Amino acid sequence: MSSHPQPSQRITVRKLLQMKSEAEKIVCLTAYDVSFAKLLDDAGVDVVLVGDSLGMVIQGLENTLPVSMNDMVYHSRCVANGLKRALLMVDMPFMSHITPEIALQNAGRLMKESGAHIVKLEGGSEQREVVSALTSNGIPVCAHLGLQPQRVHKLGGYRVQGREEEAAEHMLEEASILQQSGADALLLECVPAELATKISQTVSIPVIGIGAGVDVDGQVLVLQDVLGITPGRAPKFSHNFMAGADSIQAAIGLYVDAVKAKQFPQQEHIF
C-alpha cells in the first residue's frame, strides 16, 4: 500500500487544478474491472482511467480501433462500482466524437450509464468545437495530444511525437487552443520531456504524462505494464513495479509513492 495517507473526499476536476497549483503530483492508472478499481482506489490513485487500451490488454486486439462505445460503457460501469475516492476518466473510442452532436450523445452515455466524471478524447485543434460542446453542456474533458493510438495508421506506428522544432511548436499551440476551447485537463503521450515540461508550464490546466518526462503535473500508466504482465516487450516509458514487491497491492503502492515523490519516471523512461 502507499505510504501516503488517503483523504476520504472524492477527487474532482477542481481538485486536480488545486493539485497542479500546489505542485502535488497527480497519480493515474488504468483499470477495467471492479476488483482492480478497488485496489487502485485504496492505494491512493487519484485518477482511474478506463482506457480504450482495453482492446489490446483485455480483448487481445492489435490496436484500439475496434473498441466500441458498448465496451467502454460496460467496463466503465464495472470500474465505477469499485471507486469511492478516485476520479473516473473514460476514453471516447475511435469515431465516437467526429462531430459535436455525436460526441454529446456518446459522452452523455458515459456520464449517465457508466458514472464517468470526465471523458478523454484524442485530437488537436480540429476537436475544438467538440471540446466546447461537451464542456458547455457540463461534461468535463481531458484532451489527448502527442502519440494518439486511434491514429496509429495515419502516424505510421507508435512513434514519439514533437521531436522536430516545427512539430513541437505546433503541439504547444494545440494545447493552448484546447484549453481555450474548455478542456479541463490534458494528457501527453510519448512526447520529449523538454516539450512536455514547456506545455505544462504554459497551460493552466493539469497535464498528465505517459512517456512525457517527470516535470508534468501527473503520470499515467497501463496497469498491466505496472504489474509486468503485458505480453511482449514493455514500452520504454513503463516500469514493472511488481519487481521487488510481494503483492499487487504493494506494487501499486510503490507506483503511487514513486509518482508523488517525483521518482518516476526516471531517465531511462524519458524521451
pLDDT at position 251 is 98
Q: Count other Cβ atoms within 10 Å, centred on residue 160.
A: 16
Phi-psi region of 242 (alpha: psi -120 to 50; beta: other; left: phi over 0): alpha
- pTM summary value: 0.95
pLDDT digit string (tens) for 212-268? 999 999 999 999 999 999 888 889 999 999 998 999 999 999 999 999 999 999 999
Does residue 241 form part of some domain? yes
Find residue 218's DSSP bridge partners.
26, 208
Compute the distance between CA of residue 98 and CA of residue 127 in angstroms, rounded to an integer. Answer: 8
Q: What nine digits make up the cell of 34?
A: 471492479
Rounded mean pLDDT, 198-220:
98
Q: What nine digits make up the cell of 185?
A: 485537463
Does residue 4 form part of some domain? no
Does residue 5 form part of some domain? no
CA geometry: angle at 115 spanning 218 and 180, to 5°?
50
Helix (H, G, I), strand (E, B) or coil at 87: strand
Does residue 6 form part of some domain? no
Structurally, how many domains does the chain consist of?
A: 1
Q: Which residue has the cell 458498448?
A: 70
CATH of residue 183's domain is 3.20.20.60
Does residue 27 form part of some domain? yes
pLDDT digit string (tens) for 87-119? 999 999 999 999 999 999 999 999 999 999 999
Q: 183 to each of 84, 88, 119, 266, how far by Cα in Å?
A: 24, 16, 10, 28
Does residue 165 form part of some domain? yes
Q: What nine digits make up the cell of 45?
A: 490513485
Helix (H, G, I), strand (E, B) or coil at 42: helix
Rounded mean pLDDT, 205-217:
97
Please, are residues 185 and 155 in contact by the beta-carbon 8 Å criterion?
Answer: no
Compute the distance between CA of residue 163 and CA of residue 180 in angstroms, rounded to an integer. Answer: 24
Residues in the chain: 271
Give catalytic residues, as residue numbers.
189
Handedness of CA 44, 15, 209, 119 (dihedral sign): positive
Is pLDDT of 3 > 60? no
Compute the distance between CA of residue 213 and CA of residue 217 in angstroms, rounded to an integer. Answer: 10
- Tell me 65's DSSP state: T
Does residue 25 form part of some domain? yes
Rounded mean pLDDT, 53-57:
95
Nearest to 12 by CA among 96, 134, 90, 118: 118
Find residue 122's DSSP bridge partners.
144
DSSP letters spanning 144-178: EEES-GGGHHHHTSS-----SHHHHHHHHHHHHHH
pLDDT digit string (tens) for 140-181? 999 999 999 999 888 777 888 999 999 999 999 999 999 999
Domain extent, residue 181, equals 13-269
Q: Name the phi and psi angles at 99, rounded to 5.
A: -140, 160
Is pLDDT of 14 > 70? yes
Query: Could you give the angle at which helices 34-43 and 69-80 cross, rounded to 10 degrees?
Result: 50
Does residue 1 form part of some domain? no
